[in-house]
Chains A and B, each alone.
Chain A
Amino acid sequence: MKIAVIGQSLFGQEVYCHLREEGHEVVGVFTVPDKDGKADPLGLKADEDGVPVFKFPRWRARGQALPNVVAAYQALGAELNVLPFCSQLIPTEIISAPRHGSIIYHPSLLPRHRGASAIHNWIRGNDKVPGAWTEACGQKLTFFGSTLSTEGLVPEGETLPIPGAHRPGVVTEAGLILFGNDDRMLLVKNIQLEDGKMIPASQFFRGADSTGLELTEEDLVMAEAVRGAWKRILPNVLEVEDSTDFFKSGAASVDVVRLVEEVKELCDGLELENEDIYMATTFGDFIQLLVRKMRGDNTESKCVIDHVEKTVNKLTLRMPHQLFIGGAFVDAEGAKTYETINPTDGSVICQVSLAQVSDVDQAVAAAKDAFEHGLWGKISARDRGRLLYRLADLMEKHQEELATIEALDAGAVYTLALKTHVGMSVQTFRYFAGWCDKIQGATIPINQARPHRNLTMTRKEPIGVCGIVIPWNYPLMMLSWKTAACLAAGNTVVIKPAQVTPLTALKLAELTLKAGIPKGVINILPGSGSVVGQRLSDHPDVRKIAFTGSTEVGKHIMKSCAVSNVKKVSLELGGKSPLIIFADCDLRKAVQMGMSSVFFNKGENCIAAGRLFVEDSIHDQFVQRVVEEVGKMKIGSPLNRDTTHGPQNHEAHLRKLVEYCQRGVKEGATLVCGGNQVPRPGFFFEPTVFTDVEDHMFIAQQESFGPVMIISRFANGDVDAVLSRANATEFGLASGVFTRDISKALYVSDKLEAGTVFVNTYNKTDVAAPFGGFKQSGFGKDLGEAALNEYLRVKTVTFEY
C-alpha cells in the first residue's frame, strides 16, 4: 500500500520503519522543520532511505489549506495517511484524501504500540494535539499512557463526566477508565492538565503531592550532575532552577529521549520512561522523581496524602488519617472510619480509617512482599542503618508537630511529650540504627568428627513479617521501642496503634516515606484489637507478635499465636510495681521520685509504682510531704507550658478510675486526697493518695493505670517482710527502692522479682537499657541490645571438611 507518513520523533521513525518492514511503500514523509539545526529523527531516517521528505512549517493559514502543501501531498498519490506523533494541524481535506483515510497513531494512547489492529477511532476528531484529549471539569485534559488491557479492572471510584461520551469516566486506583461506545474500557494512566503539568490519572481528584523527599549528600551530587545535563539540553536557559520547566524552556520530544539517555549514564543505568519526564516537568520535580526511582520507589504509586489540617499550639498540624499499607495511605475496606477524640475537651479531632480483616491481609501481604522481594532485604545492614538514622532525623525535625499531635490525641502534657514521648522515640531510632551493622553471629568450637574437621558458625537473621500491637499511654514511644528494634533486625512490620491514639503513628508513616524507607516495610493499621490485633495474631504469614498492653489481652494473643502458627511472641503487660522506701533514704529525693513514680504521664505508665511501702518511722512525714506536693500540681490543658497534670487518655479509662477509687474507699483504705473527676470539661482525674492500704484490698492488688498513689506501711527494719509483700503479686514489671545503705540496696535489688529495679531513682528508662517484665508482666525485652533478640532468629551453619 502507498502510505504517506505525517509526524515526527523517534516514535514516528519507528512506525515508519515498521511500515516499510511490513512491505508497504512509504511515498513521502511530512515532518516538522529542523530545530536549531537539528533534524527530526523521522525525517533523518526517511532521507537516508531516499524517501521524499517535506518539512512544511504549517499546512493551513487562516483556516484554509495552503495550496502548495496540498499539491505536494497530492502528487504522492498516497492510499493511506499514517500520523505517528503528529503535532501539526492537518487540514480535513488531507485527512480524508486517501482511499483508506488516515490513521492517527500516538504513543500516549499505545505506549508500546502493539500494532495497527489496536488502533481505534474514538479519538478521531480530537486530533488537534498530540494525544487524545477531552474537556472535563472545565479544563482541557490530555491523556497519556493509555492501554486497552484492562482485564480484571473494576471501574469503581469517583465518576468524571465527559461531555459527549455516552458514559462518564471513572477515576480508580489504577487510573482513569473511559468507555467506548462498545463499553470496552480504556485505562488512562496519566493526565496532562492545561498548565502542562502531568499527574497520575488516579489522583485526578486529589491535591498535589507535597511530600518532598529529603535529599542526601549523594542525591545532591546526583542532582548537580543532572542539572548539568539539563543545561546541555537547554542551552538557552541561563540557570536551571528547581522551577525551570523542561518543555517551557524549549525542549522537544527528541530532547526527552536525550534526557532519558543522559540519566541512564549519570544515574548508574537508571532507565526512565518518556512518560516520566512528562510527569515531572520542572527540575525540582524531576530530581524528586529520580531520587524516588533510585531508592527503588515507584512513581506510579507516588503517595498522595490526604491530611487533616489543624492549627494548634501555633503550629499547622498536617495529620494523615488513613491506613498506611504498602507505602500508600488508603481507606479501609468499605471506607469504614471512626472518630478519634481529644481527651482535653472530648471533641472529635478527625475521622480515622478503621481497618478490617481484609486490610490486615493486604498489609501483611505488602510486608511479606517487601521482606521477600523488596529492596529492604537486599540493601546492606549499613544502608538499613542509614535509613533509620534519616528517619530519626526527620522525627527530630518534626518533633513539635509530633508532640502536639500526642497532646491532642493522647492528652500527653506537651512539654513531657516533647522530651519523653517524642524525644525518646528519636533516641530509640538512632540507637537501633547503630545496631544494624553490629548484629553479629559467632563461630563456635565444636567437637571435630575426626579425621575430618568441623566449623560451626551462627548467623542472626530477621524473622520476617512482624506484627506490633501497641497501647495508648505512650503511643509514639511504645511504637518506636518495638519498631526500631524490629526494623534494625531487618524485618518488615504491620503495626496496630491503639484505636484511641492512632495519629502520631500515622504521622510517623508519612515520615518513613520521606526518609525513603521502601514501601511495604512499615504498614500501620488503626483499628480495634478484636479485629486487627486478632487477625495479626492469627495470620499464618506473620511470624512474630510484639504486644504491649494488659495481661488479659496478652494471654489471649499468646494463645492465638500458639494455635495459628506458633509465632514468636514478646509481651510487655501490666504491672503493680512496688516501691520500697526505707527510713535511711534521702527523704527529699524519695518524695520527689515517689511523686513521679505514680503521677508521671497522669499515671498512665506501665512501670508506675502501683504500691508504695514506706518504713513506719518516716511514714507520716512522707505522706504529709506527698500531699503538699500534690497540692502544687497544676492541672490544665496539656498544651499549656506550666501544666503538670493533663487529662486521662479517654473517657472509659476515666470512668474506671472513678470506680477504682470508690472501691478503695469501700474496702477501708484512707482516701487522703483526690478520688474524683476534676469538675471541668474533658477527662481529668484528680491526683489521688490512699494510705492504710492493706495487702488484701483490691487497690493493693490491681493496677489503676491512673494518678493514684497507694501507700502501705511496713515495720521498722523488717526488710524480708516487706520484700515478701512486695513480691506477693503475679506482676513483675518494675520496682524501686530508696535507701542509702549499699548492702540493703543491693540485697533488695537482688530479691525483688521484677524486670527492672530502680535504686534511688524511678522511671529512669534509657534506650540502651533493656526493659521488660517478669512473671505475668510478660516476657521479652524492649530496648537495649536484648531487644534485638526478640526480632532475630539464629541459624547454625556447620561445615565438615
Chain B
Amino acid sequence: MATTNGAVENGQPDRKSTALPRPVRNLEVKFTKIFINNEWNESKSGKKFATYNPSTLEKICEVEEGDKLDVDKAVEAAQAAFQRGSPWRRLDALSRGRLLHQLADLVERDRAVLATLETMDTGKPFLHAFFIDLEGCIKTLRYFAGWADKIQGRTIPTDDNVVCFTRHEPIGVCGAITPWNFPLLMLVWKLAPALCCGNTVVVKPAEQTPLTALYLGSLIKEVGFPQGVVNIVPGFGPTVGAAISSHPQINKIAFTGSTEVGKLVKEAASHSNLKRVTLELGGKNPCIVCADADLDLAVECAHQGVFFNQGQCCTAASRVFVEEQVYDEFVRRSVEFAKKRSIGDPFDVRTEQGPQIDQKQFNKILDLIESGKKEGAKLEYGGSAMEDRGLFIKPTVFSEVTDTMRIAKEEIFGPVQPILKFKNIEEVIKRANSLEYGLTAAVFTKNLDKALKLASALESGTVWINCYNAIYAQAPFGGFKMSGNGRELGEYALAEYTEVKTVTIKLDDKDP
C-alpha cells in the first residue's frame, strides 16, 4: 500500500489476502475517559475536549481532558505498579511475553473496530488503517512479546578477583507522547518494548486522535495487565505533555512528533530529573534517483513515499533528487501518478488520499505551496485545496526546485512533492546531507557500487535502496542529527527501555 515494492509500513503484507475488510458501521465510541489503574476516570478539572472527523469536520465525541493533576495520578498508579514485589514486578519474563501475545490477539480480534476508529479520527483511508497501521501494531506486539524472556545481561571478565555481571533492568515509569499521523502504531512502537522490558507507562495520545489509544486501554484491561501498568491521559501538549516531560517520577520519555516540540521535551526532561529521552522527530528525507534506476519503480516509490498518509509521514520523500538525464521523464511520470491519485471519503475502498488532519496543518501546507510558487519552483500539478471539500489538498508536484527554497528545506507534512535535479554522486551526497534532519533516505539505482557508496555516505538513520517505507518490527528505526535520539523497533529498542546494572562481587583473596 505504502509502496509498490511489496513492503509496507512496519512489515510486509500477508501472503494471503482475504476478502476486503469492512469498516464497522455506526460505531459507538465507548472509551473517552482517562485510563488509570485499569479504570476509567473523569478529569480532575471536569473539562472535556472534542475530537473531530477531519473528512467531515463533524465532532465525533467529547473526551475527558487531562491536566497536570491527572498526570500526577497516572504517575502515582504507574509507580505503585512498579514497586518492588508488585504483581507486575513479580511476573516472570515469560509471562510478560504471554500477556503481550494475548494483547496482540485482542488487537487482531478487534482490528476492524480499531481501524474504523483510526479512520474516523485521522481521516486516513480505512484500508490503510486496516492493512498498514493495524498490521504494524499486531506484528510489533508479537515481535516484542518474543523478546520478553530474551533480554540478557552479560558476565564480564575483569582484572581482579571479582565476579562481574550485568543485569538489564526496567527503567521504571516511562512517559510516551504520541503523534496524530499513526496514532495507534506509534503508541505500540513505544508501549510494546516498554512493557516487554518490564516498565510501567503513562501515555499521552495526540489531542487530535485519542480514540484508538483509549480503546487499546480497554484491551489492556481485558488481557489482564496488572492495574497501573499502562495509564492513558488524553489532553494537550502544553498541559499533559509538559507535565509528563517534566515529571520528577517519570524516568524515561519517548516522544514522536515535531523537532520543535522534541526540543521542548528534551529540555523539560533535563530540567526536571534528567529522565532518559528518545525522540523521533521530523525529516526532510532525500530520495535519490540515479539515471540507471528502474524508473517505473523509482517513480512509483517516490510517489507513494511522499503522498502516503496524505503526506503526513516523518519518512515522507519530500526532497526527490533526480539525475539530470532522466529528470524530465521522471517529472512527467510523477505528474501522471499524482493525477491518478484518488481523493475522497476515506471509508471508500478506492480512496488513496483523505483530508489533512486539521486546519492548522492545512494552512501550513498551503502556505508552503504558495512559497514554492513565489520562489520560482515550477508547479507541475495541484497546488491548491480541493475546491469543494474541507481539509483536502490536491496532490502537488513541483519541478525545478532548488536547495534554497523553503519547500526544499522545511518539512511540509502534506501531499507536496518537490523534485530537484542533480549531476553527479558527490554533489548529491553533499546536498542530501546539507540539512539538520537525518531520518531516512532512499536511493534508486541498479548499480551495486553506487548503492553501497550512498548507503555509507548518507547521514540518516535509515537508507532504503530500491524501496521505500520498508519498515519492519525487527529493524531499528530512528534519526541522525535533529531527526531524533535513540531507536525504536528491533533489538535496539530494548536498550531504550532498560537500565544496565553492573554487579561486581569481590571474592576472598585468601585461598577459599
CB contacts under 8 Å to B, within A370-398, are 379-380, 382-383, 385-386, 389
Cα distance, A268 to B17, chains bound together (Å):
6
> Is the CB–CB distance between B474 and A437 below 8 Å?
yes
B69 beta carbon closer than 8 Å to chain A: no
Contact with B along A168-208 (1 / 0, CB 8 A): 00000000000000000000000000000000000000000
CB contacts under 8 Å to B, within A436-475, are 436-438, 440, 453, 455
CB contacts under 8 Å to A, within B465-486, are 473-474
> Is the CB–CB distance between A719 and B512 below 8 Å?
yes
- A225-B19, A720-B511, A744-B512 given as contacts; is B452 within 8 A of A799 (CB)? yes
Cα distance, A383 to B105, chains bound together (Å):
15
B146 beta carbon closer than 8 Å to chain A: yes
Cβ-defined partner of B94 (8 Å) among A221, A228, A379, A430: A430
A690 beta carbon closer than 8 Å to chain B: no
Residues of A within 8 A of B449 (CB): 801
Cα distance, A373 to B507, chains bound together (Å):
56
> Is the CB–CB distance between B508 and A801 below 8 Å?
no
Within the complex, the shortest CB–CB distance from B474 to chain A, in Å, comes to: 5
- A437-B474, A801-B452 given as contacts; is B149 within 8 A of A785 (CB)? no
> Is the CB–CB distance between A267 and B505 below 8 Å?
no
> Is the CB–CB distance between B512 and A747 below 8 Å?
yes
CB contacts under 8 Å to B, within A743-761, are 743-744, 746-748, 750
Residues of A within 8 A of B14 (CB): 218
CB contacts under 8 Å to A, within B125-168, are 139, 142-143, 145-150, 152, 163
Cβ-defined partner of A222 (8 Å) among B18, B142, B505, B511: B18
> Is the CB–CB distance between B149 and A768 below 8 Å?
yes
Residues of A within 8 A of B505 (CB): 742, 746
> Is the CB–CB distance between B150 and A427 below 8 Å?
no
Looking at B93, B94, B139, B152, which has the most chain A CB atoms within 10 Å of its CB?
B94
- A434-B145, A438-B474, A747-B507 given as contacts; is B19 within 8 A of A801 (CB)? no
Cβ-defined partner of A434 (8 Å) among B18, B150, B452, B456: B150
Residues of A within 8 A of B12 (CB): 380
CB contacts under 8 Å to B, within A220-247, are 221-222, 224-225, 228
Cβ-defined partner of B16 (8 Å) among A218, A437, A743, A785: A218
Contact with B along A412-424 (1 / 0, CB 8 A): 0000000000000
B374 beta carbon closer than 8 Å to chain A: no
B101 beta carbon closer than 8 Å to chain A: yes
> What residue in chain B is nearest A378 (Cβ atoms)?
B15
A266 beta carbon closer than 8 Å to chain B: yes
- A434-B97, A747-B512 given as contacts; is B448 within 8 A of A799 (CB)? yes
Cα distance, A435 to B145, chains bound together (Å):
10
Residues of A within 8 A of B30 (CB): none
Cα distance, A222 to B109, chains bound together (Å):
14
- A389-B101, A746-B163 given as contacts; is B18 within 8 A of A221 (CB)? yes
A294 beta carbon closer than 8 Å to chain B: yes
Cβ-defined partner of B146 (8 Å) among A379, A434, A799: A434
B21 beta carbon closer than 8 Å to chain A: yes
> Is the CB–CB distance between B18 and A225 below 8 Å?
yes
Cα distance, A358 to B447, chains bound together (Å):
50
B453 beta carbon closer than 8 Å to chain A: yes
B324 beta carbon closer than 8 Å to chain A: no
> Is the CB–CB distance between A433 and B146 below 8 Å?
yes
> What residue in chain A is nearest B21 (Cβ atoms)?
A221
A684 beta carbon closer than 8 Å to chain B: no
A217 beta carbon closer than 8 Å to chain B: yes
Q: How many residues of A contact B (CB 8 A)?
A: 44
> What residue in chain B is nearest A748 (Cβ atoms)?
B512
B491 beta carbon closer than 8 Å to chain A: yes
> Is the CB–CB distance between B453 and A801 below 8 Å?
yes
Cα distance, A427 to B98, chains bound together (Å):
11
Within the complex, the shortest CB–CB distance from A223 to chain B, in Å, comes to: 9
> What residue in chain A is nearest B16 (Cβ atoms)?
A268
Residues of A within 8 A of B145 (CB): 434
Cα distance, A360 to B152, chains bound together (Å):
39
Cα distance, A750 to B146, chains bound together (Å):
32
Q: How many residues of B contact A (CB 8 A)?
A: 41
Within the complex, the shortest CB–CB distance from B58 to chain A, in Å, comes to: 30
A431 beta carbon closer than 8 Å to chain B: yes
B300 beta carbon closer than 8 Å to chain A: no
Contact with B along A333-356 (1 / 0, CB 8 A): 000000000000000000000000
Contact with B along A27-66 (1 / 0, CB 8 A): 0000000000000000000000000000000000000000
> Is the CB–CB distance between B149 and A294 below 8 Å?
no
Within the complex, the shortest CB–CB distance from B96 to chain A, in Å, comes to: 12
- A437-B474, A438-B491, A453-B456 given as contacts; is B512 within 8 A of A385 (CB)? no
CB contacts under 8 Å to B, within A628-666, are none
Cβ-defined partner of A385 (8 Å) among B11, B21, B109, B146: B146
> Is the CB–CB distance between B152 and A785 below 8 Å?
yes
- A266-B18, A801-B453 given as contacts; is B512 within 8 A of A434 (CB)? no
> Is the CB–CB distance between B149 and A431 below 8 Å?
yes
Cβ-defined partner of A379 (8 Å) among B15, B18, B98, B109: B15
Residues of A within 8 A of B474 (CB): 382, 437-438
> Is the CB–CB distance between B147 and A438 below 8 Å?
yes
Cα distance, A379 to B143, chains bound together (Å):
16
Within the complex, the shortest CB–CB distance from B127 to chain A, in Å, comes to: 14
Residues of B within 8 A of A747 (CB): 507-508, 512
B108 beta carbon closer than 8 Å to chain A: yes
Cα distance, A743 to B505, chains bound together (Å):
9
Looking at B17, B98, B152, B473, which has the most chain A CB atoms within 10 Å of its CB?
B17
Contact with A along B21-63 (1 / 0, CB 8 A): 1000000000000000000000000000000000000000000
Cα distance, A224 to B22, chains bound together (Å):
12
> What residue in chain B is nearest A266 (Cβ atoms)?
B19
> What residue in chain A is nearest B108 (Cβ atoms)?
A217
CB contacts under 8 Å to B, within A148-179, are none
> Is the CB–CB distance between B507 and A434 below 8 Å?
no
Cβ-defined partner of B150 (8 Å) among A217, A268, A382, A768: A768
Contact with B along A558-581 (1 / 0, CB 8 A): 000000000000000000000000
Within the complex, the shortest CB–CB distance from A317 to chain B, in Å, comes to: 28
Looking at A435, A437, A720, A767, which has the most chain B CB atoms within 10 Å of its CB?
A437
Residues of B within 8 A of A746 (CB): 163, 505, 507
> Is the CB–CB distance between A267 and B512 below 8 Å?
no
Within the complex, the shortest CB–CB distance from B15 to chain A, in Å, comes to: 7
> Is the CB–CB distance between A438 and B150 below 8 Å?
yes
> What residue in chain A is nearest B145 (Cβ atoms)?
A434
Contact with A along B98-119 (1 / 0, CB 8 A): 1001000100110000000000
> What residue in chain A is nearest B447 (Cβ atoms)?
A801
> Is the CB–CB distance between A294 and B16 below 8 Å?
yes
Within the complex, the shortest CB–CB distance from A84 to chain B, in Å, comes to: 34
> Is the CB–CB distance between A455 and B452 below 8 Å?
yes
Residues of A within 8 A of B15 (CB): 268, 379, 383
Residues of B within 8 A of A440 (CB): 491
Residues of B within 8 A of A218 (CB): 14, 16, 18
Looking at A221, A228, A386, which has the most chain B CB atoms within 10 Å of its CB?
A221
> What residue in chain B is nearest A222 (Cβ atoms)?
B18
Cα distance, A266 to B16, chains bound together (Å):
10
Cα distance, A768 to B92, chains bound together (Å):
12
Cα distance, A258 to B11, chains bound together (Å):
34
Within the complex, the shortest CB–CB distance from A167 to chain B, in Å, comes to: 46
CB contacts under 8 Å to A, within B197-232, are none
Known contacts A453-B452, A801-B452, then 19 further A-B pairs from the complex at CB < 8 Å, ordered by chain A residue = A228-B19, A266-B18, A266-B19, A385-B142, A386-B142, A430-B94, A433-B146, A434-B148, A434-B149, A435-B146, A440-B491, A453-B453, A455-B452, A719-B511, A720-B512, A743-B512, A747-B507, A747-B512, A799-B448
Closest 6 pairs (CB-CB, A-B): A434-B146, A225-B19, A743-B508, A719-B512, A801-B452, A801-B449
Q: List 11 A-B contacts (CB under 8 A).
A: A222-B16, A222-B19, A225-B18, A430-B94, A434-B149, A437-B473, A768-B94, A768-B150, A785-B150, A785-B152, A801-B448
